[in-house]
Amino acid sequence: MHTETERCVRAVQSKDARFDGWFFTAVLTTRIYCRPSCPVVPPKAENMTFYPSAAACQQAGFRACKRCRPDTSPGSPEWNQRADVVARAMRLIGDGVVDREGVPGLATRLGYSTRQVERQLLAELGAGPLALARAQRAQTARLLIETTGLPMAEIAFAAGFSSIRTFNDTVREVFALSPSDLRGRVPKNAQSAAGKTPGALTLRLPFRAPLNPDNLFGHLAATAVPGVEEWRDGAYRRTLRLPYGHGIAALTPRADHIACRLTLSDLRDLPVAISRCRRMLDLDADPVAVDDQLRTDPLLAPLVDKAPGRRVPRTVDEAEFALRAVLGQQVSTAAARTHAARLVVAHGESVEDPEGGLTHLFPSPEALAALDPESLAMPRGRRATFTTLARQLADGALHLGVESDWDETRRRLLELPGFGPWTVDVIAMRALGDPDAFLPTDLGIRRAASEFGLPSTPAALTARAAAWRPWRAYAVQYLWATDSHPINFLPV
């Protein structure tokens, strides 16, 4: 969008928050870059230039605005609605792969050469993978500086910087303030009480309005596996398996943000934990674009108008979700939770929850692959499906992650015994993040189709749903929401 100058100028002049994260405005006279909704008086059009990423602004010599804090705007929805190399690379960078494995590791995961990845990112985003990862480190550093009392040396390494000098230079360059000055601007009472305890942080996760929390948190709470997930005091809480350790996230819906409380065993996991929580709650979606498309169908329009802004509830761990999807084949939500809870108690890794209630990480594929199949209390066919999936995930024959190619992964899953279209597409929708995944054979969808006069057969319903593309996964949420199932209601 940053190449559509007139459209960008109109968005900036109207301070339209819907475009935050889509592009960034750099002001030639002040050498500052802002989000489109910056509250200051808009600059003259001839003094504006537009960039697709904060990293590109920083590389061009602009520093972040102190008023609108463009580094904290929602991520671009482009990276969650596309499956090309650039989108997959951006998801991996957000997951901290460049900091852990370098650019060669990023390229290996994508199946391209380092040069190809750098060239494509530079062409579309105006910055290469190192610059994009550097911008993310700067954002993480600012978050730690402003919300914790940690020493600057600890913050530097937790944010992913290789040295304190690089940390100091980057913060000064990006924010035009030293780390100490940045902390000094924050009122003492604004610093999180949780942040004073090493490993505990409280922060705000922004999103594009509207956001309807009912089915989003309702789905996560209704399917929560005891010991791994829970709903408590208005928050969805769950354990996280992270690259350097483990964590616990508590997520509470608010009118204009999601309140997030993270307890981490290693602060280096902070960017990854934030990225995975955002992804699970689909916070980088563009609800206006989604709802406008679905409203073109006269049968869906009343559902959208009644409760706009529905998101697709996703996951923090793609392998975990795939295994749970198999456990849920042809059984009720309660039965699937029971099966999963037994596995958690027997094979999950124990964790300590300062607030009590959460006890384990969900078992890893490696732990489940080592099980005696006869110990699984499920029909023989589903047992074979489950153990085959666990083995393939454990030995690397099948990989599910943010970088997965949606079509290729669908094909690989369909080759496994016991995997039909429903299981594959629910994994594509909720684990891989395909916004166009569709479930025409799902019982809830078929009931909704019958109630609203949509075609009843899967083939005919799929043909009718072509008009909803590329947002059929969101249409599924609106159709599911017509049922009285607990997944559709925010817990009390």
- The 10s digit of each residue's pLDDT in 112-161 is 999 999 999 999 999 999 999 999 999 999 988 988 888 999 999 989 99
Confidence bin at 55 (pLDDT 50/70/90): very high
Range with the poorest average pLDDT among 15-19, 162-166, 168-172, 177-181: 15-19
Answer whether residue 197 is part of any domain.
no
- Across 103-114, average pLDDT: 95
Question: Which pLDDT belongs to residue 199?
Answer: 52
* Euclidean distance between CA atoms 181 and 329, whole angstroms: 55
What local confidence, expressed as pLDDT, does residue 193 receive? Answer: 46
Dihedral-angle region of residue 182 (phi above 0 means left; psi in -120 to 50 means alpha; beta otherwise): alpha
Residue 194 has a pLDDT of 43
| Residues 219 and 85 occupy one common structural domain | no
Does residue 473 sit in the same domain as residue 439? yes
Q: Are residues 155 and 267 in the same domain?
A: no
As for how many domains the chain has, the answer is 3
Confirm whether 207 is domain-assigned.
Answer: yes
Of 162, 190, 218, which marks where a domain is finished? 190
The one catalytic residue among 8, 20, 34, 282: 34
* Active-site residue, 34 included: yes
328 in the same domain as 221: yes
Is it the case that residue 76 has pLDDT exceeding 80? yes
Distance (Å, whole) CA 189 – CA 193? 9
Q: Are residues 215 and 315 in the same domain?
A: yes
In a domain, 195, yes or no: no
* Residue whose structure tokens are 């000064």: 172
User: Are residue 411 and residue 480 in the same domain, yes or no?
Assistant: yes
pLDDT band at 356 (very low <50, low <70, confident <90, very high): confident
**Cβ of 219: how many Cβ atoms within 10 Å?**
24
Both ends of the chain: CA-CA distance in Å? 41
The pLDDT-based confidence of 106 (bands split at 50, 70, 90) is very high
What percent of the chain has a predicted confidence (pLDDT) above 90?
83
Can you list the alpha helix ranges (DSSP code H) found in 26-113? 54-59, 78-81, 85-94, 97-110
User: What's the pLDDT at 191?
Assistant: 53
Q: What is the mean pLDDT of residues 472-484?
A: 96
Lateral strand order in the sheet of 63-64: 48-51, 24-27, 32-34, 63-64
Nearest to 345 by CA among 328, 325, 329, 367: 367
- CATH number, residue 115: 1.10.10.60
Is 171:141 a contact under the CB 8 Å cutoff? Answer: yes
The question of whether 284 is a catalytic residue gets the answer no
What pLDDT, in 10s, does the model give residues 423-476? 999 999 999 999 999 999 999 999 999 999 999 899 999 999 999 999 999 999
305 and 420 together in one domain: yes
Among 134, 167, 190, identify where a domain stops: 190
Residue 60 to residue 62: CA distance in whole angstroms: 6
In degrees, rounded to 5, the angle at the alpha carbon of residue 157 between the alpha carbons of residues 152 and 162 is 115
One domain for residues 209 and 288: yes
Inside any domain, residue 428:
yes
Rounded Cα distance, 175 and 424, in Å: 45
Tens digits of per-residue pLDDT, 250-292? Answer: 999 999 999 999 999 999 999 999 999 999 999 999 999 999 9
Would 346 be classed as within a structural domain? yes
Angle between helices 97-110 and 129-147 (to 10 degrees): 150
Query: Positive or negative, the Cα torsion across 88, 92, 98, 102?
Result: negative
Judge if 364 and 458 occupy the same domain: yes
CA dist., res. 170 & res. 180, Å (int): 13
User: Residues 212, 311: contact at Cβ < 8 Å?
Assistant: yes
∠ at Cα 390 (388, 391), nearest 5°?
65
Q: What are the angstrom distances between the C-alpha of 54 and each of 373, 388, 419?
A: 50, 43, 41
Catalytic residue among 291, 317, 434, 442: 442
- pTM comes to 0.90
Residue range(s) defining the domain that contains residue 20: 5-72
Q: pLDDT band for 190, please (50, 70, 90 cuts).
A: low
Q: 355: pLDDT confidence band, cut at 50, 70 and 90?
A: confident
Q: Which amino acid is at 220?
A: L
Q: Exposed e or buried b for every residue in 400-435, given b needs 16+ CB within 10 A?
A: bbbbbbbeebbebbeebebbebbbbbbbbbbbbbbb
Distance CA 134, CA 258 (A): 25
Say which CATH number the domain at 327 has.
Answer: 1.10.340.30
Instruction: Encode 240-254: b = buried (16+ Cβ within 10 Å), e = exposed.
Output: bbbebebbbbbbbbe
- State the helix-helix crossing angle for 114-125 and 97-110, rounded to 10 degrees: 110
CATH of the domain at 50: 3.40.10.10
Residue 364 lies in a domain: yes
Do both 67 and 84 map to the same domain?
no
Shared domain for 225 and 183, answered yes or no, is no
- At CB < 8 A and 24+ separation, what contacts does 35-42 make? 35/65, 35/68, 35/69, 35/70, 35/73, 36/8, 36/11, 36/12, 37/68, 38/12, 38/65, 38/67, 38/68, 38/70, 39/15, 39/67, 39/68, 40/65, 40/67, 40/68, 42/12, 42/13, 42/15
- Which of these, 429, 408, 363, 422, lies nearest to 390 by C-alpha position? 363
Confidence of residue 189 (pLDDT cuts 50, 70, 90): low
pLDDT digits (tens, 9 = 90+) for 192-240: 444 444 457 888 899 999 999 999 999 999 999 999 999 999 999 999 9
Please check whether residues 323 and 440 belong to one and the same domain.
yes
Classify residue 196: in a domain, yes or no.
no
- Domain end call among 72, 106, 122: 72
Calpha distance 409→481 (Å, rounded): 28
The residues, ordered by sequence, that sit 6+ positions from 399 with a Cβ below 8 Å of its Cβ are 393
